[in-house]
Amino acid sequence: MASALRSTRSRYSRLLALALCLALLAGAPALAEEGIAQFAETPVEVGQTEEPLIDPAADPAAEAEDPAAGQSLLDAALSGDPLSGQTADGLAAEQGYGNPYPVNMDADVRLGYVAATGVEMNPFLCTERDLVSLNALVYESVVELDDSLKPVPLLADSWKKQGNTWVFTLRSGIVFHNGAPLTAEEVVNTYQRFLQAGEDNPYYSRVALIRDMQAMDELQLRVTFRISGYAALYAMTFPVVESQTLNDAVPRGTGPYWITEYQVSLGVRLEANPLWWKKDPEIHSIAALNYADVGDALEALRTDEIDTLCTQSGKAAVNRKLSDLTSMDYQTNNFEMLIPNLQESSPMGDIRLRQAVMYALDRASIAENAYLGMGVQCEVPVNPGSWLYETQSAIYYYSPERALQLLLECGWKDLTGDGMLNKINGVILQDLNVRIITYNESTSKIRENAADLVATYLQQVGINATVTVYSRSRCLSQINERNYDLALVGVQLSEVPNLAPLLQGGGSLNMNNFRNENMEVQLALVSSAETEEELKSIYSQIQMLTVERLPMLGLLFRSGSVLSTRSLGGLSGLRVSNMLNGIEFMKK
């Protein structure tokens, strides 16, 4: 739908059009701010360590100035700002894009997203996964995570470290969307605003790692962290906002796109930022429409109302295989695992039986059939796409023979000739019974189907496995009461290296009270690891201890898909917080 004129216009003509638009639009009221919503379409998880993917202050939004008499059109573009001083409704109506769509859909990419009614794009308020990814095109951070989730400089040019204090030197010449220069003070003000936003914003647990932040001069930033190690860099991955727009409904960033149209709960339009400090984007415009649910968004994709959609929903699994669609998977932080009951009263208290279960499961089949192919096998709670993943931790493979051998070593045999295992306990014949519990997501029975498949594989090696499905809260109660043998759950982990909640004694996600002294030592070393190499080595030992002791039986990390009727060439390193990474370099 993008016009030929847009696809061939020059950088100068884009600036000219922008300047004319600014001259027409200056002086209207500020954007209204609305409420906060939870993640749309994200699986309901038992626990969460990731920042909940933020509370506005009272100052009014700044307005753009009219270009001064005699000022050049280029100067007008540099001093102006596409959304400053506009209401969402007024902007769409004034430009004539109100019917039939809330924003102008004549764009290089027409995107669908799912978000709850009333949710804000404001980075201090936004908790919707799809909008967080759109914001990643508008805002940039001092440090970013590369395709392997390793910290690398972005707005920072370099850094140096002494103890818990780091000095970051920012790149010179970078400006915000309203032409204001990027300075160290802007970073400090953004950091303080995120602290004010409180624990519900997606970056709080990252900025909470910072003890103090001060601007040394225009471009140098002194940051003292609460931890001394390399992992402190992850705290600097929050989006930086221009200070005068901190309280705007749509603050200004430095990213490759700026927002030119926005209607809360309806849609948003992004245009290439002519002031961006990197290479000019190939994709000049992105129009996005909000849908109530994934089903509506998929229908819009099929009817060509949109051409691109990002989703984790199982409803998209079939669409990934259609010949008229291009798809690209992205990694999420949702880890699916079986939690064993480690008490002696449960057969899972025996490490050999836990190992037997791992060998008995065809996890590739479970990923393909129960999770509809939207998952990546993994035995440890570190994403295989991460630079910290230890490849040597993949020690378990599908082998019913090896499973039976381990069960025999535990004393379990088929004493009754019915194919099911049992043993003599005193004068009583004891069957090998394993009770599996789980809960369903609100919109699918994927996890129930996975539990049934796990039970089927265990029955094939003689384990009498049964499945009970509870509500999420009831499932948690059963785990706490130790009224289970295996619990199939999903947890959302963090991009920040911190497995203590899951593996440390007393951790908030350590649901079976696992404790191992060697594990405690390694977990304690994570925050003080000085170098990449040291942190990677510690993480390697944590993962090898995990597959050795099996405090959880890892199945997979859930994945999502970008679906499109156009080429997706240019996208790379996709993850749940940045599902459109590289879109600026896609070909039209």
Query: Over the stretch 14-44, which tens digit does the pLDDT of each residue have?
Result: 443 444 333 333 333 232 222 222 222 333 3
The whole-number pLDDT of residue 207 equals 95
- Provide the whole-model pTM: 0.83
The whole-number pLDDT of residue 427 equals 86
The whole-number pLDDT of residue 352 equals 97
The whole-number pLDDT of residue 441 equals 87
Q: Which of 41, 558, 37 is nearest to 293 (CA)?
A: 41
Q: In terms of domains, do 126 and 160 share one? A: yes
Which residues lie below 8 Å from residue 555, measured CB to CB, with a gap of 6+? Answer: 336, 337, 338, 361, 363, 366, 367, 375, 377, 378, 450, 488
In which residue are the tokens 């390694």 written? 522
Q: How far is CA 485 from CA 219, 340, 341, 342, 478, in A?
A: 57, 6, 5, 8, 10
Q: In terms of domains, do 154 and 17 share one? A: yes
Q: In terms of domains, do 384 and 459 share one? A: yes
Which of 252, 276, 308 is the endpoint of a domain?
Answer: 308
- Domain interval for residue 256: 4-308
The whole-number pLDDT of residue 144 equals 97
Which of 293, 308, 323 is the endpoint of a domain?
Answer: 308
Domain count of the chain?
A: 2
β-bridge pairing 143-145 and 151-153: antiparallel
The whole-number pLDDT of residue 63 equals 28
Q: In terms of domains, do 451 and 486 share one? A: yes
In this structure, the number of other CB atoms found within 10 A of the CB of residue 343 comes to: 12
The whole-number pLDDT of residue 317 equals 81
The whole-number pLDDT of residue 83 equals 55
The whole-number pLDDT of residue 82 equals 55
Q: In terms of domains, do 92 and 200 share one? A: yes
Any domain includes 462:
yes
Q: In terms of domains, do 375 and 520 share one? A: yes
Q: Which of 276, 95, 103, 45 is nearest to 175 (CA)?
A: 276
Any domain includes 539:
yes
Q: In terms of domains, do 216 and 127 share one? A: yes
Q: In terms of domains, do 91 and 59 share one? A: yes
Q: In terms of domains, do 530 and 441 share one? A: yes
In this structure, what CATH number is given to the domain that contains residue 545?
A: 3.10.105.10
Any domain includes 568:
no
φ/ψ of residue 439, rounded to 5: -140, 160
- The per-residue pLDDT for range 481-507, each reduced to its tens digit, is 999 999 999 999 999 999 999 999 999
Q: In terms of domains, do 239 and 379 share one? A: no
Any domain includes 583:
no
Any domain includes 52:
yes
Residues of the chain with pLDDT under 70: 1-99
The whole-number pLDDT of residue 588 equals 80
Any domain includes 322:
no
In this structure, what CATH number is given to the domain that contains residue 146?
A: 3.40.190.10
The whole-number pLDDT of residue 145 equals 96
Q: In terms of domains, do 381 and 439 share one? A: yes
Which of 243, 275, 308 is the endpoint of a domain?
Answer: 308
The whole-number pLDDT of residue 218 equals 97
Q: Which of 395, 303, 410 is nearest to 358 (CA)?
A: 395
Which residues lie below 8 Å from residue 8, measured CB to CB, with a gap of 6+? Answer: none
φ/ψ of residue 277, rounded to 5: -85, -5
Three-state DSSP at 213 gives strand
Angle between helices 446-460 and 351-360 (to 10 degrees): 110
